[in-house]
Amino acid sequence: RAVNQIDHPNVIDIFSFGRLDDGRLYLVMDLVEGRSLRKALSEGPLEIATALEILDQIAGALDAAHTRGVVHRDLKPDNVMLGAGNK
């Protein structure tokens, strides 16, 4: 619920969540087409301009979250998705 209060273009929205009859948890969230930062880094170093652009977007999203009192406790390259515009 807290994530939906952030309202930032680089933060996903979660539309629903719950538990299935068999006990598994689920989230229904925005679909981000692209690849993870981890995948991009596995293909070699990023261009400096690209890395700075990605870092700026991550910092902006974290600032928006922190302004709303939300702390991301699992920030890692696997949890950063790069849209089709990022190489």
Higher pLDDT, 2 or 51: 51
The separation between CA 25 and the C-alpha centre of its own chain, rounded to angstroms, equals 19
SS3 for 61?
helix
In the chain, the amino acid numbered 8 is H
- For residue 23, the 8-state DSSP code is S
> In the chain, what's the furthest Cα-to-Cα distance?
48
For 19-78, write each residue's pLDDT tens digit: 999 999 999 988 888 999 999 999 999 999 999 999 999 999 999 999 988 888 889 999
Question: Whole-model pTM?
Answer: 0.79
Catalytic, out of 7, 22, 63, 74: 74
* Cβ-contact 50, 86 below 8 angstroms: yes
The separation between CA 30 and the C-alpha centre of its own chain, rounded to angstroms, equals 10
* Of 10, 20, 14, 19, residue with least CA distance to 1: 14
74 is catalytic: yes
